[in-house]
A and B are shown apart, each in its own frame.
Chain A
Amino acid sequence: MELILFKDRSVPDLKDIDVYIGRGGYQSLDKGLRLLKPDEIIDIVKRSGLRGRGGAGFPTGAKWDFIPKGKGIRKYLCCNADESEPGSFKDRELMEFNPHLLIEGIILASYAIGAAVSYIYIRGELVYAFRILEKAIREAYKRGLLGKDIRSSGFDLDVFIHRGAGAYICGEETALIESLEGKRGMPRVKPPFPAFYGLYGKPTMVNNVETLCNIPYVVTNGHERFASQGRPRNTGTKIYCMSGDINNPGNYELPLGIPLRHLIYDVAGGIRNGRALKAVIPGGASAAMLTPDQVDILMDFDSLAAAGSMLGTAGVIVMDETRCMVKVALTLSRFFFHESCGKCTPCREGTFWMHEILKKLEAGAGKDEDVDLLLDVANNIGGRTICALADGAIAPVISSIRHFGEDYRLHVKEAGCPYDRIMARA
């Protein structure tokens, strides 16, 4: 296999512009900005089959094509670097060790959609990555890679970096736009989609860090080479963020569509302490849990969707047999309750209610009806809100009840958490 994003991962000081250029960095601009027209870039990206790495997996080229053409209109590119999904830590590593790859991707994407201004919206807590990016942007300006007439191509681009203030919801693209405008980060009703009515009411493209980092490769090497990895409709490589009860947690770049079993047992070194696998969250906190009998599933957008879960950000959280699934649901529900922006009723009230019921169940004060109520509340939230946060919030709850109903029953029967007792004994 060929690495696209982590190719030079072992090169020291890659974040230094000279080192980056020495490794062939920014070469895609010569082809991209001078030989290709914007539409040709969009076409290459379309054919490459690249799908958004921010969670939804929407085809990137098709999304770029929605942006109205024409010179007269002001357009924006926003790089979504808000990475806050529990279980996801890939964008952070990309920005920290290879910031220029991202800048290079931003330049090509901005050129393709006709944006003269681009914003990087970075999660506020990522201070280290922010400093590195800031320095990288400064260096790129100095080298004429940003600013006016980039590489004598006649293309101008300014890149600004904006730090978020700690809200998960600001990763949702329309909340991100509101936040950039200086407003409270709350998602907008769609339609209109940002491609038509985005930042300051102008056509806006929001793309994930990893998505953009793929663009230089696609432009340089062509769509066929990109699509040669992965599976049909799920092309290219993906950074899998491996965490949980495994021996070797970390980020791994591998083709899309590799079996989950391979990821856990070969790549991440298997389950810690020789324990048995109990559950896997394959795509960050918003993705429904999988069970050990699903471990041969292929890690790509379509296979996981067919299994009722999702690839999301490919934040793979592995849990072993000692984990209490009620507690897992409780922990995740606390996150979503805390992060709900509060704009729509079912999410604002429902995430709180789910969390309260789970607290009661985990504490051993729940009854069987509470489990039914929990499931009902979750179902009443689903599909009835403005943004996908709420759907993400119910995924762990519903999947834990569906797959691990026994855990819930034990909590009711034993009036407490059976795992606490087991752990206490051990």
Chain B
Amino acid sequence: MDRAGEREFKSISLVIDGKAISVPEGTLVIEAARMLGIEIPYFCYHPKMDPVGACRMCLVETGGRAKLITACTTRVEEGMTISTDSISARKGQKDVLEFLLTNHPLDCPVCDKGGECPLQDNTYKYGPAVSRFTINKWGFKKPVELGPYILLDRERCIMCMRCTRFSDEIAGHPQIGVINSGRGSEIGVMHGQEFNSIFSGNTIEICPVGALTSKHFRFSGRPWEFKNRPGICANCAVGCNINWTIRRHEILRVLSRENPDVDDGWLCDRGRFGYTHINSPDRLTSPLIKRNGGLVPAGWDEAISYAAQRLDEITLKHGNESIGGIGSPTLTNEEAYLFQKFMRKVVGSNNIDHWPKGNGAIIEKLFEGSSKNDLRRFAYSHLDEADLIFLVGTDISGEQPVLDLRLKKAVRKRGARLIILHHGKTDLTRYSSPWLKYKEGEEMLPIELLKRIILKGAKEEEIEEEIKGEAEAASFSARLVYEAGMALSGSRRTVILLGNNLPDGLIHAMFDLASGIIGQSGEQRDDQWISLGLLMGHANSQGVLDMGLDPDYLPGYVRIDLDGPRARFETAWRYSLPRAKGLSADEMLNGGNNGAIRALFMMGSDQPSVQSSNNTLDLKREGIEFLLVSDITLSDKARMADVVFPSCTHAEKDGTFTNAGRRVQSFQKAIRPVGNSLSEWQILCNLAIEMGEPFNYLSVSDIMDEISTLVPSYKGINYPLLGDKGIQLP
């Protein structure tokens, strides 16, 4: 039986530069060489794109024949002998470089790419020492603006077409292309288009010369002055791995750092260019205390002791429950854990939550209540194997951009089927067959219909009848729902992804539907599964929920009102936890029921991802006697505060985030904290000492060790183990 994915690949044996190797059928010669550690120079080749064979840099000799072949377009053949360094191969490579340099300006001294440029490197290694081209080079007006972030210096371009192929093949945004022809060819924006792809910045990184440069970064330094330090993008919940390009504690640029299980080597523009807040002049550099109606700088000792004193006073006067805490979903796991521990143990209040908040806890409880061999919990890599992907009420392209690329890869390169249930058009709906478009707020109807079709065997005619009654609501046809239903029940490997803000009922219904399908086909097998996920909105939305930044749940979704499970925490924390039900963020923001909240601690910054979400913070100060805020800038909420702690961004601290695919990833401090800012976990430790309940953590790794003993899904996780690729939660 020929089943895709299970097919045995034939192995092909060949010899490259005298070394024998066996590789799977279909491997390109350039890749086989790489497996042997043999370098073949290239420009246009890119492992993630279809070969074009344009630059001709990868010429190698085969079987001693005079005609050289391009290693990036030739697939291995049994018994092939390849020579990458014969006299003739080396001459071919040298000649191509001579041609490439005939119009290249060689302005390396003022080129951003100089020092990290494949053209420089290949010329140095394989090129001619002198050029025989003595004719004047062509000059162009420089630079041309290609898009909002990107400038093009045309004379540096070597026409490898990586940028245009990326935009078309990978991003699905064919906005740039080659215009004119022959030697006059240049990269340009296609007629009637704009290069406004949300992935445009990747072209800068894959351009093998300095033709495409970043407006932000251009001319800001020489590569040998820089250091690249690993980090994680915090601009959404995908958690793309990045490198910070830094010089003397300043972030100059963000580059991708490929993690095959997360970002596949790509970034979106929000992530790539969303770093300017870090070294912004608006950063807070010292604590602020409100005096005579204005916020004035103060020392840390003073600010901490003043805050502690106010919190103590209010506790004495109005009780523990008059104090509330709201964290941001950009706090690290360690900070979120510590914040709720601080609130529950040091302050003695269950008024702890995070904002903005999605509906993720429901799915956690549903999974907790289901048996092991039911549904799989979603991981990004499931998209690479799925036959069918069902998106429910989510605009991945807008909310989890780089995940959109993985979806497009599944659909366009592997032919996976995409079904979208969404009220509005998104960048992905054009790949959807079908797209079930419902009226906003009426998403339950299609789900119910799907349940009837899949679980009850309803026929298309019955659905037709059903819809007739609800003609108002249904902006899709019975045939389309029926088609989607049949596809879902017939698919062998299915990924179902839910949006972050769907109503409870719908999440339950989808869970039932998915479990129902599995139930029909017996238990899950390795070759037949459904993976279900709810995609969170912000960098650590998943993590802060896991860490119990929630009035109802302790870390690991342990219900606060159940004595049994809670006891574990009471033992570990050596404290008897408050029992009163806590208030939600919304309730606290409105001062709590009947003005119960007198002091509010808002922790964590409004970093770009939070600012860009649709929710706007609606904080009412009436009734709140003391507002304590930690933030990176003087945000709206900081402006209202009585005490502001300057906190640092994730470029300046250590910690972990748990991404939308439930992968825990660690990052280290890349630059020293701006001004006197501190990370939130340090602020909490200082405040706890001042309030007489000291924590004894020396580093975030100590906090993670505690988390791993208390939260079952994080069991065994520690910093050394997290490495640079992170750990997928079970």
Contact = CB atoms under 8 A, between A and B. Distances in A.
Nearest to B52: A189
Interface in A329-346: 337-346
B729 interface: no
Contacts of A11: none
Contacts of B103: 349
Interface string B456-467: 000000000000
B68 A345 contact: no
9 contacts: A189-B73, A337-B182, A340-B182, A344-B56, A345-B55, A349-B102, A349-B103, A352-B183, A384-B56
Contact of A384 (B52, B92, B132): B92
B182 A341 contact: yes
Interface string B42-72: 0000000001111111010000001110100
A383 B56 contact: no
A189 B159 contact: no
Interface string A339-363: 1111111101111110010000000
Give the size range of B's interface with the partner: 35 or more
Given A189-B73, A338-B182, A383-B67, A352 B102 contact: yes
Contacts of B161: 343
B100 interface: yes
B575 interface: no
A373 B183 contact: no
Contacts of B713: none
B184 A342 contact: yes
A340 B185 CA distance: 10
A338 B98 CA distance: 21
Interface string B63-89: 000111010010000000000000000
Given A167-B181, A345-B96, A353 B56 contact: no
Instruction: Name, among A167, A344, A349, the residue most crowded by chain B CB atoms within 10 Å (CB to CB).
Output: A349
B87 to A, nearest CB: 14
B92 A348 contact: no
B51 A189 contact: yes
A184 B100 contact: no
A337 B183 contact: yes
Interface string A175-202: 0000000001010010000000000000
Contacts of B722: none
Contacts of A344: 53-56
A346 B95 contact: yes
B99 interface: yes
A336 to B, nearest CB: 9
Nearest to A185: B181
A383 B70 CA distance: 11
Contacts of A383: 66-68
A352 B138 CA distance: 11
Q: Ordered nearest first, which 7 A-B pairs have the shortest CB separation?
A: A342-B185, A349-B99, A380-B95, A189-B53, A340-B182, A342-B182, A352-B183
Interface in B88-116: 92, 95-96, 98-100, 102-103
Contacts of A341: 181-182, 185
A353 B98 CA distance: 11
B516 interface: no
Contact of A348 (B51, B70, B177, B182): B182
Interface of A: 167, 169, 184, 186, 189, 337-346, 348-353, 356, 373, 380, 383-386
A380 B135 contact: no
A349 B100 contact: yes
A350 B102 CA distance: 9
A349 B182 CA distance: 8
A345 B133 CA distance: 15
B99 A346 contact: yes
A184 B177 contact: yes
Contacts of A337: 182-183
Contacts of A342: 159, 178, 180-185
B76 to A, nearest CB: 13
Contacts of B56: 344-346, 384-385
A339 B68 CA distance: 24
Contacts of A386: 53-54
Nearest to A352: B183
Contacts of B53: 189, 344, 386
B59 A384 contact: yes
Contacts of B68: 383-384
Contacts of B70: 189
A169 B178 CA distance: 15
B65 to A, nearest CB: 10
A381 to B, nearest CB: 8
Of B55, B68, B159, B183, the most chain A CB neighbours within 10 A belong to B183
B231 to A, nearest CB: 37
B158 interface: yes
B55 A373 contact: no
Contacts of B92: 384
A162 B70 CA distance: 33
Contacts of A184: 177-178
A345 B66 contact: no
Contacts of A349: 99-100, 102-103, 183
A373 B177 contact: no
Interface in B180-223: 180-185
Nearest to B99: A349
A198 B135 CA distance: 40
A380 B178 contact: no
B216 to A, nearest CB: 31
Nearest to B184: A342
Given A344-B55, A344-B56, A346-B56, A380 B99 contact: yes
Contacts of A356: 135
A384 B96 contact: yes
| Residue among B67, B95, B103, B184 having the largest count of chain A Cβ atoms under 10 Å | B95
B182 A345 contact: no
Contacts of A373: 132
A342 B188 CA distance: 15
Given A383-B66, A384-B68, A348 B185 contact: yes
B559 to A, nearest CB: 56
A344 B95 CA distance: 13
B102 A353 contact: yes
B456 to A, nearest CB: 35
A186 B99 CA distance: 20
B72 to A, nearest CB: 9
Contacts of B183: 337, 340, 342, 348-349, 351-352
A273 B184 CA distance: 42
A99 B158 CA distance: 44
A346 B184 CA distance: 14
Interface string B224-236: 0000000000000
B182 A351 contact: yes
Contacts of B158: 345
Nearest to A348: B183
A380 to B, nearest CB: 4
Contacts of A339: 182
Interface in B123-173: 132-133, 135, 158-159, 161
B159 A345 contact: yes
A358 to B, nearest CB: 12
B122 to A, nearest CB: 12
Nearest to B75: A191
Contacts of B181: 167, 169, 340-342
A282 to B, nearest CB: 24
A373 B67 CA distance: 21
* Most chain A CB inside 10 Å of its own CB: which residue of B56, B177, B178: B56
Nearest to B186: A342
A380 B70 CA distance: 15
Nearest to B179: A184
A349 B103 CA distance: 8
Contacts of B180: 342
A189 B54 CA distance: 9
Task: Report which residue of A339, A342, A386 has the largest number of chain B beta carbons within 10 angstroms of its beta carbon.
Answer: A342
Contacts of B184: 342
A345 B99 contact: yes
